[in-house]
Amino acid sequence: MFEGGFARGAASFVADVDAAALRRLVRASLVAFDAGAGRYRVHELVRAFAAERLEALGRAATALARHSAYYCSWIRDRERDLAGAGQAAATDANARGPGNVRAPSRH
């Protein structure tokens, strides 16, 4: 579902995954964590396998809807920030999010 990196909050909202579960996924090398950026990344093969499993279980549409809802809210937050004092941080955040923002339109 996620393209590029994602934050813990995104994983929590989209996949109902808590911090402990993310740590277990990192220890199992299914997810990588970039401590400097504070973001997670899923290898493309793992992401493709997970997408196939969601489809097979009939849960792909629900996952996509949650992903879309999260990133629509994320865009609204960045839009407000771009007009105010948080402009620099919002610009930086926008540079990290494009894959996930565009992902729902490709499904």
Query: What does the pLDDT look like over 92-107, one tens digit per residue?
Result: 655 555 555 544 444 4
Q: Which two tokens stand for residue 60?
A: 């792909």
Q: Say which residue, 2 or 102, is predicted with more confidence.
A: 2
The DSSP secondary structure of 59-102, one letter per residue, reads: -HHHHHHHHHHHHHHHHHHHHHHHTSTTHHHHHHHHHH-HHHHH
Q: What would the pLDDT profile of 3-42 be if each residue is shown by its tens digit? A: 878 999 999 999 999 999 999 999 999 999 999 988 999 9
